Copies of this chain bind each other. A is one copy, B any other.
Amino acid sequence: MRTHYCGKVTAADLDQIVTLNGWVHRRRDHGGVIFIDLRDREGLVQVVCDPDRADMFKIAESVRNEFVLQMSGKVRRRPAGTENANLTSGEIEVLCHDIQILNASVTPPFQLDDDNLSETVRLANRVIDLRRPQMQKNLMLRYKVAMAFRRFLDGAGFIDIETPMLTKSTPEGARDYLVPSRVHPGQFFALPQSPQLFKQLLMVAGFDRYYQITKCFRDEDLRADRQPEFTQVDIETSFLNETEITAIMEDMIRFVFKEALAVELPSPFPRMTYAEAMRRFGSDKPDLRVTLELTEVTDAMQDVAFKVFSGPANSGGRVAAMRVPGGASLSRGEIDEYTKFVGIYGAKGLAYIKVNDVTKVNEEGLQSPIVKNLNETALRTVLERTGAQSGDLIFFGADKAKVVNDAMGALRTKLGHEKGYVTGETWRPLWVVDFPMFEYDEDDKRWTACHHPFTSPKDEHVDLLATDPGACVAKAYDLALNGWEIGGGSVRIHRADVQAKVFEALNIGAEEQQVKFGFLLDALKYGAPPHGGLAFGLDRVVTMMAGAESIRDVIAFPKTQRAQCLLTDAPGEVDEKQLRELHIRLRQKVETQVEVARD
């Protein structure tokens, strides 16, 4: 039915007869001639309908936006001065010989080139929304990216093995989506939060190199960049160590960026320990395009009169300074805005010093209400360590370490981008390594796994599992890109005795271990190879690559932040018969005794 995609007709096809299928993007009548911009997934082409072919012209007159047409005609050069450099087909037009209306369309709910649509309108009319050239491009890019991952992994000997969607609920981690079993009354499947345990079992089974691009599910309250179902590029390999695994993975990411965006990422990716990343950037996924850095001044603030600093400095908190070169020119209003911003992250204020004259270490040279409460030694330390110069501004964060890191880390990124403290580079990947094994949960008074409980400690830290969990460093690594975590993974525990020690550190008793993870512990006894892996968030990678605002713009049929599909109106009510077959009932339905008696 078609010789070319609309968007692919070019001057190379001059004088040829082409047949096209597509949608009427725009119809213009101009000087007795009808111009139709015909659109398909590859783009637009201009079709010219002359009145000298009366039958054809009559049909052309009747078509409206979004009608589906089949057209044939001869490719000719556009008249000089009417070329459109924005289109691949912009040098040519098609002189129409024949039109057939394949389907009509009622007037669409909005114009495809309307850029001011609310997301609700877009999601409720997703089919029309998906026709917009940007959405077509985004989903084509997504496909290109996914195929690039596959091609690389295939070439490197990884094989795609499907793991179950109907699996077991593990109350660790995020909340599960549950699926009631009809055959086993009172029992439930869970949708997988990740194929973690299955991929480890595949390594124990000897498949050596596994990957899967697969849906994962978390029933959490949604943030801007989260969906109830999301897609993971999930990878695991045997017989490789941290260095070898991350080396393959960064080759893969370089390959994907080159294939999909023709972008060359640096080689190798820089590496940084978790400790250094937190110290210098307040974040385990720092945006290295931003040139601002935090400076540690906790030790210098223990003796100062200013309680806001000395308090945290003396009680295990953190005091960090951030030099903003030339920042003395920031206005009072701007500083107020940044103060409000860090409040989102729990900071109770945002202390600062304007360095008017770096040679005068007193209230004359340093403009700030807090200077009088900091002694000269402390001030000198700050100036020296930050390298501040006259005309700079220094921001301070002082609180529990987590609050300081979150607040100052976020401020660094925001201020850096807003005020141009950036390197000018487009992509800055970074491996963050040597994560701690555990973090202490102050609420539950217990250690929890930073990554997950199957992550291996450094070999030399195995003994610390029992004695000093907080000092244990994990063989874990994250890949950060421009301030986003795009992937993360670890070398896993392959020895049953080490796994048991980690469960003990996490206060998971023998019985609970057996009930929840018995099948993993069993597997580890039967010759588990050393193994490790990684998972990348495909939605997020593609969102970044597409320059999209939301992951919803790179998913064909996403859910809203209220976990609804506005197109199909899911979730929805179901028949009582369906519930009965699943041995469940709704809670509100049983509030009266009448309902109960009826059963």
Contact = CB atoms under 8 A, between A and B. Distances in A.
Interface of A: 1-2, 5, 21, 23, 39-41, 66-68, 70, 102-106, 108, 126-128, 130-131, 136, 139-140, 142-143, 146-147, 150, 154, 159-169, 171, 175-191, 197-198, 201-202, 204-208, 215, 217, 219, 228-229, 231, 238-241, 244, 494-495, 519, 522-523, 525-530, 555-557, 559, 562-565, 567-575, 578, 580-590, 593, 596, 599
Contacts of A584: 180, 584-587
A589 B182 CA distance: 16
A123 to B, nearest CB: 12
B185 A588 contact: yes
A483 to B, nearest CB: 26
Given A106-B526, A219-B182, A525-B106, A570 B139 contact: no
Contact of A102 (B66, B102, B529): B529
B176 A178 contact: no
Contact of A587 (B139, B167, B239, B599): B599
Contacts of A188: 571-574
A125 to B, nearest CB: 8
Contacts of A2: 239
Given A131-B205, A585-B584, A599-B587, A571 B160 contact: no
Contact of A525 (B105, B163, B529): B105
Nearest to A167: B570
Contacts of A205: 126-128, 130-131
* Identical chains bound together, number: 2
B160 A146 contact: yes
Contact of A166 (B171, B177, B522, B582): B177
A174 to B, nearest CB: 12
A159 to B, nearest CB: 4
Given A150-B150, A571-B189, A578-B176, A165 B166 contact: no
29 contacts: A1-B239, A1-B241, A21-B239, A39-B206, A40-B206, A41-B207, A68-B530, A103-B530, A105-B527, A126-B201, A130-B206, A139-B159, A150-B150, A167-B565, A169-B578, A176-B578, A183-B564, A184-B562, A184-B563, A184-B571, A187-B573, A189-B570, A202-B556, A583-B586, A584-B586, A585-B590, A587-B599, A590-B596, A593-B593
A523 B568 contact: no
Contacts of A140: 159
B229 A526 contact: no
A169 B180 CA distance: 14
A181 B563 contact: yes
A127 B556 contact: no
Given A41-B207, A68-B529, A523-B127, A21 B167 contact: no
